[in-house]
Amino acid sequence: MPSGGSGGYGDLVTSARPGRPEDVSQSVPKVLRVSAALSWRLVAVAAAVWLISWIVGYLAVVIIPVAIALLMSALLAPAVAQLVRWRLPRGLATAIVVVGGIALVVGVLYGVINAFIGGLPDLQKQVAGSVKAIQTWLAGPPLRVSTDQLTGFTNQIVKLIQDNQLTITTSALSTAATLTEVLTGVLLVLFTTIFFLHDGGGIWSFLIKIIPADVRPRVDVAGRRGFASLVRYVRATAAVAVVDALGIGIGIGIVGVPLAVPLAALVFLGAFIPIVGAVIAGTVAVLVALVAKGFVSALIVLAIVIAVMQLESHILQPLLLGRAVQLHPLAVVLMIAAGFTFGGIAGALMSVPILAVLNSGIRSLLHDQGVDPSEVDPTRPPKVEPGHGK
């Protein structure tokens, strides 16, 4: 027999031996192999997301102030950059902008608190009148609730408060501790914002040193594009918030609802959580109108809130936020829901900016190849190139 014959037979026997990895993988259907490969990758991604969420939650006392400082830096960075272009030293420009911003915030808070204190007696009188009107309505047909029943219900509420006095006291002490944490966070936000404004470029250059040198320029450009998107988002959101606050505040002021200025300030703050925040703040305004002025005034305030929300969703959002971050409304809503689930109010506040930065950064990594990082100025509107960002 030729020598090659035994070799061919041996190869045939070897290829037919069970247990070889390549033979086992080939015997598994392709759909199952692909599903298994996707499954373990999804498990790895889910584990990474869970680990990151746990780390963020554990370090929330530090991460949340730093994130808020980044938002504040995005809002104030164009002003600092403009002063630097006017040949002011960067330290002096940062000091002017920070001190001016603090003065503006303190002035607004002073006006809001004064308006709240001034409108509180009027609100108390109107609430007392509304309570009497409700009692009269309950005593009449068709409910015919007697005065003794109302008194008994009130006594039950008082007894419930007395029985839970220890819990209320503990909550008050917890609130005091929370206020201490808030004060610490505010100071951390202030100092972090100052350093971001004064030496943000140096901090970013230090952070990207961990990136391999061959891809570092592209990551540098993507980071600058992401921060530019954050700047546009914060400015557009602030503009939308001002319009919402003015529209609802002037409307409820005309209706005669007390605390119009504090409610307008609440609407302004709520508008920084897109779509959801202004609606919640408007609902508070409707409830205040219902308690203080009655059902008809509450319906009028509700109509004002709906009109302002329609103006925001159909005109302001497409013109300002749509151009600033290029995000679909469904993506915004889902991201807010996910952020609120993971991080509460802070998560809802930071979810859309994070999505905007990631969207812009990924687009830059995919399209902006060979761009000099020094040519990208995050504080100025980007140059729109044909076909870019589609």
Q: What is the pLDDT of residues 15-26, one digit of tens each?
A: 445 545 556 667
* Per-residue model confidence as pLDDT tens digits over 205-217: 888 888 888 888 8
Rounded CA-CA distance 123/119 in Å is 6
pLDDT at 151: 66
Nearest to 219 by CA among 228, 231, 207, 202: 207
Q: Looking at 69-73, 133-137, 184-188, 213-217, which range is the least confident one? A: 133-137
Q: What is d(CA 256, CA 263) in angstroms, rounded to the nearest whole number? A: 13
pLDDT at 365: 82
Higher-pLDDT residue of 367 and 47 is 47
Average the pLDDT over 224-228 and give the result: 87
Phi first, then psi, for residue 384 (nearest 5°) are -80, 115
Read off the pLDDT band of 194 (50, 70, 90).
Answer: very high
Rounded Cα–Cα distance for residues 189 and 182 (Å): 10
Residue 54 has pLDDT above 60, yes or no: yes
Give the mean model confidence (pLDDT) for residues 228-249. Answer: 86
Q: Does residue 66 contact residue 348 with C-beta atoms inside 8 Å?
A: no
As a whole number of angstroms, the distance between CA 229 and CA 259 comes to: 36
Quote the CA–CA distance of 326 and 209 in Å, as a whole number. Answer: 30
- pLDDT of 193 reads 92
Helix H, strand E, coil C: the string for 212-266 is CCCCHHHHHHHHHHHHHHHHHHHHHHHHHHHHHHHHHHHHHHHHCCCCHHHHHHH
Tokens 């952070």, located at residue: 207
Q: Is the pLDDT of residue 13 over 50?
A: no
- Has this prediction a pTM greater than 0.75? no
Decide which of 75 and 387 is more confident: 75
- pLDDT at residue 240, rounded to an integer: 84
Mean pLDDT of 109-132: 72
Between these two residues, 321 and 101, which has the higher pLDDT value? 101
Give the angle subtended at the CA of 245 by the CAs of 244 and 246, to the nearest 5°: 95
The Cα 222–Cα 256 span in angstroms is 50
CA distances to 125, 250, 251, 357 from 300, rounded to whole Å, are 21, 13, 9, 39
Which of these ranges, 72-81, 248-257, 265-274, 327-336, has the smallest mean pLDDT?
Answer: 327-336
Range of weakest confidence among 110-124, 149-163, 213-227, 257-271 = 149-163
* Number of residues assigned to the chain: 390
Q: What is the pLDDT of residue 16?
A: 47
Nearest CA-CA partner of 240 in 165, 298, 308: 308
Average pLDDT, stretch 301-312? Answer: 86
pLDDT, mean of residues 117-145: 67
Q: Which two tokens stand for residue 131?
A: 């309570």
Q: Tell me which residue of 229, 223, 227, 233 sits closest to 365, measured CA to CA.
A: 223
Average pLDDT of the residues in 309-329: 71
Distance CA 264, CA 254 (A): 13
Q: Compute the average pLDDT of residues 211-235.
A: 86
* Digit-coded pLDDT (tens) for 160-187: 665 665 565 555 545 555 677 778 888 8
